[in-house]
């Protein structure tokens, strides 16, 4: 193994894969680089669910030169027939001599079988190079494929004193343009964007990616226990993106029919007064919505957090102080009695976004 060159080519494959984030539906993002005699002869990225995987594109570019070459793949080549044929067979047919894999595929249909198949056919396989980066890149896929539950990223913007709006409800704008542009990219990278009915009633948001940021629009998901959503709301009248409303079993049937007639999809979750959020997540997973960007208000954020349903938190903080005891905060829930019970974030990072900062991390749940 030439670790220096191997790392270079695997990094290139990972860089290419990242460019397709948000385009592959519930599939992982994968890159592949084929190298022979110190020369790149094929590159490929998985671009869309149901189309050729990264290995297929790279091998097509390499052609007959692939024989005896090394293929660098960011995720274990699949070994099963899905919407496309298994990639490990393509590598075998191409007669590559060596395959370097960043990480194994957590998909129960693969889970080491692709690597085993390659080795059975005499191909040298090495696993683990830059595997941590590959797993981080596919954190949404990794959760969904093993649990059938969406990976939920909470994105919120607040002032330094933790307010997401003023005491009058004004929230335009908490953060600057650089942070807001990043949020539109985040929307593109998730299959769904979720808010509570309070956000819709207060702001009437479009919940789409911005026109000048080339991107796919996520499914709009509104938690609306008693179906207060107006038929005139943007998420109803604007057909740019699909809209799903989640209500309880108690919600008014007549209003439900009006929304359905207007083109809105409806999910019922829970028989009580409030939506059963764990059940809602299960039902969204059944619809193959594998990742959700949560942009809720304090109550929805608090409810999702206390239910242990948030996988990642991205908190944008503006260098502003607005005060106000009645001003809404990032999380609105009963809270814990002692500091030792607080939900902590691990693997935290701090990044600059214009004048604002973004603190991100993964919540550790001890209370759920």
Q: Which residues are catalytic?
A: 55
Is 114 annotated to bind a ligand? Reply is no
Q: Angle at the Cα of 281 (from 335 to 179), degrees rounded to 5?
A: 70
Question: Is residue 98 a known part of a binding site?
Answer: no
Q: Give the distance from CA 19 to its chain's centroid.
A: 14
Q: Are 52 and 78 in contact (CB under 8 A)?
A: no
Q: 203 labelled as ligand-binding?
A: yes
The answer to whether 299 is a known ligand-binding residue is yes
Is 207 one of the annotated binding-site residues? Answer: yes
Q: Does 157 carry a binding-site annotation?
A: yes
Structure tokens at 221: 């998901």
Query: 64 a known binding residue?
Result: no
Cα–Cα distance measured from residue 98 to residue 120, given in angstroms and rounded to the nearest whole number = 13
Question: How far is Cα of residue 150 from the mean position of the Cα atoms in its chain?
Answer: 8
166 is in an annotated binding site: no
- Are 198 and 233 in contact by the 8 Å Cβ rule? The answer is no
14 is in an annotated binding site: no
Q: Are strands 219-223 and 70-73 parallel, antiparallel or unpaired?
A: unpaired
Peptide bond into 173 cis (omega under 30): yes
> Is 118 annotated to bind ligand?
no
Instruction: Report the relative pairing of strands 356-364 and 312-318 from DSSP bridges.
Output: antiparallel
Residue 42 marked ligand-binding: no
Known binding-site residue numbers for NADP(+) = 157, 173, 199, 225, 297-303
Known binding-site residue numbers for substrate = 171, 187, 203, 207, 210, 295
Known binding-site residue numbers = 53, 78, 87, 157, 171, 173, 187, 199, 203, 207, 210, 225, 295, 297-303
Known binding-site residue numbers for Zn(2+) = 53, 78, 87
């Amino acid at each position: 193994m030439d670790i220096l060159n191997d790392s270079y080519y695997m990094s290139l494959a990972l860089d290419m894969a990242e460019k397709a984030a948000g385009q592959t539906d519930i599939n992982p993002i994968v890159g592949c680089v084929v190298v022979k005699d110190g020369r790149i002869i094929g590159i490929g990225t998985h671009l869309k669910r149901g189309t050729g995987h990264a290995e297929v594109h790279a091998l097509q570019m390499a052609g007959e030169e692939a024989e005896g070459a090394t293929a660098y793949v960011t995720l274990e080549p699949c070994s099963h027939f899905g919407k496309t044929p298994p990639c490990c067979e393509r590598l075998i047919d191409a007669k590559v001599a060596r395959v370097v894999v960043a990480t194994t595929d957590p998909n129960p249909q693969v889970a080491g079988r692709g690597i085993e198949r390659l080795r059975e056919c005499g191909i040298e396989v090495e696993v683990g190079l830059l595997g941590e980066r590959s797993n981080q890149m596919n954190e949404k896929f990794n959760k969904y494929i093993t649990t059938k539950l969406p990976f939920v990223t909470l994105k919120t913007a607040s002032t330094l004193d933790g307010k997401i709006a003023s005491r009058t409800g004004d929230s335009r704008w908490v953060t600057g343009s650089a942070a807001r542009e990043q949020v539109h990219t985040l929307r593109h990278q998730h299959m769904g964007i979720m808010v509570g009915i309070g956000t819709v009633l207060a702001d009437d948001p479009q919940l789409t990616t911005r026109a000048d940021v080339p991107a796919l629009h996520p499914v709009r998901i509104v938690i609306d226990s008693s179906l207060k959503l107006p038929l005139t709301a943007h998420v109803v009248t604007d057909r740019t993106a699909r809209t799903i409303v989640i209500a309880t079993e108690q919600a008014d049937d007549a209003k439900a029919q009006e929304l359905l007639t207007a083109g809105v999809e409806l999910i019922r979750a829970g028989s009580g007064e409030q939506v059963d959020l764990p059940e809602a997540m299960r039902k969204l997973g059944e619809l193959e919505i594998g990742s959700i960007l949560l942009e809720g208000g304090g109550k929805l954020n608090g409810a999702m957090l206390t239910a242990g349903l948030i996988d990642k938190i991205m908190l944008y903080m503006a260098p502003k102080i607005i005060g106000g005891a009645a001003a809404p905060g990032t999380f609105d829930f009963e809270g814990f009695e002692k500091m030792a019970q607080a939900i902590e974030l691990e693997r935290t990072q701090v990044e600059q976004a214009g004048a604002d900062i973004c603190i991100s991390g993964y919540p550790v749940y001890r209370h759920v």
